Chains A and B, each alone.
Chain A
Amino acid sequence: EAGVAQSPRYKIIEKRQSVAFWCNPISGHATLYWYQQILGQGPKLLIQFQNNGVVDDSQLPKDRFSAERLKGVDSTLKIQPAKLEDSAVYLCASSLRIQNRRLEHEQFFGPGTRLTVL
Chain B
Amino acid sequence: KNEVEQSPQNLTAQEGEFITINCSYSVGISALHWLQQHPGGGIVSLFMLSSGKKKHGRLIATINIQEKHSSLHITASHPRDSAVYICAVRWAPDKLIFGTGTRLQVFP
Q: In the complex, what residues of A have CB within 8 A of residue B95's CB?
A: 45
Within 8 A of B (CB), among A62-118: 89, 91, 93, 95-96, 103, 105-114
Q: Are A43 and B94 in contact, with the CB atoms below 8 A? A: no
Secondary structure of the B contact surface, majority rule: strand
Interface residue range, chain B: 20 to 34
Q: Ordered nearest first, which 9 A-B pairs have the shortest CB separation?
A: A42-B98, A112-B41, A111-B42, A109-B43, A89-B41, A105-B93, A42-B100, A43-B98, A105-B94
**8 other contacts beyond A41-B100, A106-B48, A111-B40, with CB at 8 A cut-off?**
A43-B43, A91-B41, A95-B94, A108-B45, A109-B42, A112-B40, A112-B43, A113-B41
Interface residues of B (CB under 8 A from A): 4, 35, 40-45, 48, 86, 88, 90, 93-96, 98-101
